Amino acid sequence: MVAQRKLVSEGSAIAKALDYSLKRWEALTRYLDDGHVPIDNNWVENQIRPWAIGRANWLFAGSLRAGQRAAAIMSLLRSAQLNGHEPHAYLKDVLTRLPTHRASDVATLLPHRWQPTVAVA
């Protein structure tokens, strides 16, 4: 790829593509060193597709702060779902606990650490 880059004129689309790849070569070939790393991110892309499709609908959240809050809540719920939790049960439990939960232990309520207080259906 380095040899091919030398043959391509500066500023061309091919040069930009080769430069992009060469700058990210370590990340692009990481999966070769670790069999646990996927060759692509198709799984993640498929998981976030419903959110990306709805993005145009959320342009009119009312205000920038409302949009930021909506994004934070959607991210939290999706994270809960990806961690195997039913989003409604997770949110209900966390919102019930939050007022009496110690601020120093708030990280235990994040989806990847959350343990329901009671059997949640």
Tens of pLDDT, residue by residue over 82-108, are 899 999 999 999 999 999 999 999 999
Residue pair 87/114 in contact by the 8 Å Cβ criterion: no
Write down the pLDDT at residue 44.
Answer: 83
Are residue 20 and residue 48 in the same domain, yes or no? no
| Domain coverage including residue 12 | 2-33
**Please, what is the Cα angle at 32 between 31 and 37, to 5 degrees?**
20
Write down the pLDDT at residue 80.
Answer: 93
- Whole-model pTM over 0.85: no
CA distance 18 to 32: 20
Are residue 49 and residue 69 in the same domain, yes or no? yes
Residue 114: inside a domain, yes or no?
no
Residue 22: inside a domain, yes or no?
yes
Are residue 9 and residue 46 in the same domain, yes or no? no
Write down the pLDDT at residue 120.
Answer: 52
Residue 117: inside a domain, yes or no?
no
Write down the pLDDT at residue 119.
Answer: 56
Which residues of the chain are under the pLDDT cut of 50? Answer: none
Report how many domains make up the chain: 2
Write down the pLDDT at residue 118.
Answer: 66
